[in-house]
Amino acid sequence: MTTTSARTVAGNLCLGSAPDSWGVWFPEDDHQVPYTRFLDELVTAGYTWLELGPYGYLPTEPRELADALSVRGLQVSGGTTFGALHRPEAWETMLAETRRVAELTAAAGAHHLVFIPPMYRDEKTGEYTEGPQLSAEQWNSLGGRANELGRILLEEYDVRLCLHPHADSHIQTQPEIERFLNETDSRYANLCLDTGHVAYGGGDNLDLIRRFGKRVGYVHIKQMDPAVLDQVAAENLSFGEAVKRGVCVEPPAGVPDPASIVDALSTLDAELFVIVEQDLYPCAAEVPLPIAVRTREYLAGCGLSGRKRPAAR
């Protein structure tokens, strides 16, 4: 294992974490810890920066949120939202919901909005709710709407749209990620590189960083257990079931190798947030904190710190 003393700090990268690493997937759920416990444990684990997570989990009134964060010395790296850009009939509703999140994100002083496409399998039951492939017409809609949404976010909120590839979504595999990038305008829509979801979809993170580094606007760092990935392929598991089986693992276990990811990202001519996300839903309340501490310590040994605020890109 690389130690902090043996490695130069990756000065263009800023480490943070997210509610996801505390088993939080929904605004409200009996399996999730209260947001106050999440924030308190985030501080205990040594983090300064956080992503907001699902809208409604943390306070949505800007002053209340600011008070909850400032008393703990926490700062916001970005917001999180979900939406189906390939469904024209859902545009107005999705836009209204995204505006709410963008407004809160901007009020918290952050400039990035992580946009997650919907899964075509139910998060809890694994049932298919949509076909796994988009038509050419749907791809055209997705690219055009992403550009339009990104322009609105940038011009009205000074927030940058970063699309997050996701397991069991229509932007999961590397060809799908590359198609999204090729069909969108870099001024308005870029990539939240989620290293675990790229690996889940069979992609090559280092290749994406090398060839599309200018389109990486934000990063989620996570690792997947190859043995569970084999089960996903053999048994056609949903992502929800894969998470229950422990597909997300803490570093240095799993793929991709986090140290190699940090090395590759550190060569980019950009300042980036690198946010820890270890999907743990559902998990016992006592599980996340020790993992969060070990993860921060390991990533510190890879050169990642949370002291510097990246410039918006």
Domains in the chain, ordered, with CATH? Answer: 13-302 (3.20.20.150)
Question: What percentage of the chain exceeds 90 in pLDDT?
Answer: 93
Mean pLDDT on 8-25: 91
**Cβ count within 10 A of residue 138:** 17
pLDDT of the residue at 311: 66
Judged against a pLDDT cut of 50, whether residue 122 lies above it is answered with yes
- What integer best gives the mean pLDDT of the chain? 94
Judged against a pLDDT cut of 50, whether residue 65 lies above it is answered with yes
Q: Where are the alpha helices (DSSP H) in the chain?
A: 35-44, 62-70, 91-107, 136-157, 174-182, 195-200, 205-212, 226-235, 239-244, 258-265, 288-301
Q: What is the pTM of this model?
A: 0.94
Q: What are phi and psi of 13, to 5 degrees?
A: -120, 140
Distances (CA, A) of 2 to 158, 172, 305: 37, 31, 14
Question: What percentage of the chain exceeds 70 in pLDDT?
Answer: 95
Mean pLDDT on 157-175: 98
Distances (CA, A) of 212 to 19, 217, 266: 28, 10, 14
pLDDT of the residue at 171: 97
The C-alpha atoms of residue 191 and residue 252 are separated, in whole angstroms, by: 24
Lowest mean pLDDT among 55-59, 195-199, 278-282: 278-282
The C-alpha atoms of residue 84 and residue 149 are separated, in whole angstroms, by: 12
pLDDT of the residue at 308: 61
